[in-house]
Amino acid sequence: MERLNYDEAFIDEFGNVHGVVEGHEDGAVMLNSHVDTVGYGDRDQWDHDPYAATIEDGQLYGLGASDMKCAMASMVYGGAALANLDLEPEHDVYVTGELMEEVSEGHAMKYVVEELDVDWEAVVIGEASEMDVKRGHRGRCELRIDLQGASCHASAPERGINPLYHAAEIIDRIEELNEETNDHDFLGAGTIAATNVEVDTPSNNAVPAGATIYVDRRLTIGEDEATAHAELEDAIAAAREEYGNDVDASVETLTFDRPTWRGYELESKKYYPMWLLEEDHPLVQDTYEVAETVLDSAVEIRKWTFSTSGNYTMGVAEIPTIGFGPSREEWAHAANERVDVEDVVRACDVYAGLGLEL
């Protein structure tokens, strides 16, 4: 970005990278992409080397091609177009490469919003949107239920308290709770699922001393962290109906505190609120008009299926947030991850237009 005539380019203390094109009024607009990726999974499922960035039939294949190096590239060069125009944007335009989104989306944005001295007017997230506009998504919460038992030799299980039996009752109730979540005509229904069980046991020939159930809760309108906790307390109560006061259980929201590559430490809950911008909101309509004008094609206003860092920028910080990006949702986190090269190029123009318009 220094070579592309940005007014400023820097790496913050957390480790995020920013390029700035200065505007003539107070406030700033962020064009946001994350620069980390998931792993490539099973190498045998890839037709191309995930690290080779192979281009075939107009598509670029490789790890992060869809999620989301493509948007980062488009934003960098869209910002460069702004930097080299005679026109000056109204607000400062930040092109931001975010860390650690794949392990805790919004974690890095907590630092950016709380620690950088910037008055954010709007955020544009470049996650895959099929070149449409996306105005929200469900939230999520990662939780654990810790169960305490009493270990003993498995030859005499009556001497102990087996937390696995309590866990089974709780999991049965969680399955039932999945049919009782809220629904929303745009974002869809919330979901709850038990995803893993860990056991603290001295031996396969012993009653366990403890067990932990991990739970994924997807949150729609009217649901939040407290909703998820109440549901899991309900599941624990179902186990107590069967096993009485032998059930010793507690519910906790997981946290994330891994140091960044710069050694910066920040703790945040793994609770990611849902968010939704109304369709008639100026940011939605301005983004729609810029995209449709620049692309000269029909553009839809939709939602994301997955979660993004909008859960922090809009869901927590209440900064108006919108989504537009090249590539497709179904290509993210998949073997043969790819993006249409033409869409990456066309997205540059859209991001430049958004920098001027917003």
335 assigned to some structural domain: yes
Question: What is the pLDDT at residue 317?
Answer: 96
Whether residues 237 and 175 share a domain: the answer is yes
Whether residues 125 and 151 share a domain: the answer is no
Whether residues 48 and 124 share a domain: the answer is yes
Find out whether 139 and 251 touch, Cβ atoms under 8 Å: no
Bridge partner list, 32: 96, 125
Whether residues 116 and 171 share a domain: the answer is no
Question: What is the pLDDT at residue 87?
Answer: 85
Residues serving a catalytic function are 36, 101
Whether residues 237 and 168 share a domain: the answer is yes
| Of 256, 286, 313, the domain-final residue | 256
32 assigned to some structural domain: yes
Tokens standing for residue 99: 């860390």
- Ranges in the chain, pLDDT < 50: none
Find out whether 66 and 129 touch, Cβ atoms under 8 Å: no
Distance CA 81, CA 46 (A): 35
Whether a cis peptide bond, with omega within 30° of 0, leads into 75 is: no
Give the model confidence (pLDDT) of 111-159 as tens digits.
Answer: 999 999 999 999 999 999 999 999 999 999 999 999 999 999 999 999 9
Question: What is the pLDDT at residue 146?
Answer: 98
190 assigned to some structural domain: yes
| Of 256, 282, 312, the domain-final residue | 256
252 burial type by CB count under 10 A (0-12 exposed, 13-18 middle, 19+ buried): middle
> How many structural domains are present in the chain?
2
Question: What is the pLDDT at residue 232?
Answer: 98
Whether residues 233 and 328 share a domain: the answer is no
Please give, one letter per residue, the 3-state secondary structure of the chain.
CCCCCCCEEEECCCCCEEEEECCCCCCEEEEEEECCCCCCCCHHHCCCCCCCCEEECCEEECCCHHHHHHHHHHHHHHHHHHHCCCCCCCCEEEEEEECCCCCCCCHHHHHHHHHCCCCEEEEEECCCCCCCEECEECEEEEEEEEEECECEECCCHHHCECHHHHHHHHHHHHHHHCCCCCCCCCCCCCEEEEEEEEEECCCCCEECCEEEEEEEEEECCCCCHHHHHHHHHHHHHHHHHHHHHHCEEEEEECEECCCCCCCCCCCEECEECCEECCCCCHHHHHHHHHHHHHHCCCCCEECCCCCCCHHHHCCCCCCCEEECCCCCHHHCCCCCCEEEHHHHHHHHHHHHHHHHHC
Whether residues 148 and 38 share a domain: the answer is no
Give the model confidence (pLDDT) of 340-357 as tens digits.
Answer: 999 999 999 999 999 999
263 assigned to some structural domain: no
Q: Could you give the count of Cα atoms lying within 13 Å of 304 in the half-sphere of its Cβ?
A: 32
Whether residues 217 and 286 share a domain: the answer is no
| Of 229, 256, 283, the domain-final residue | 256
Task: Find the CATH number of the domain harbouring 220.
Answer: 3.30.70.360
Q: What is the pTM of this model?
A: 0.90
66 assigned to some structural domain: yes
261 assigned to some structural domain: no
265 assigned to some structural domain: no
Quickly tell me which residue has 């891994």 as its tokens: 258
Question: What is the pLDDT at residue 85?
Answer: 87
Whether residues 102 and 17 share a domain: the answer is yes
201 assigned to some structural domain: yes
Whether residues 52 and 12 share a domain: the answer is yes
Whether residues 128 and 16 share a domain: the answer is yes
Task: Find the CATH number of the domain harbouring 94.
Answer: 3.40.630.10
Q: Which range of residues forms the domain containing residue 22?
A: 8-137+274-357
Whether residues 242 and 306 share a domain: the answer is no
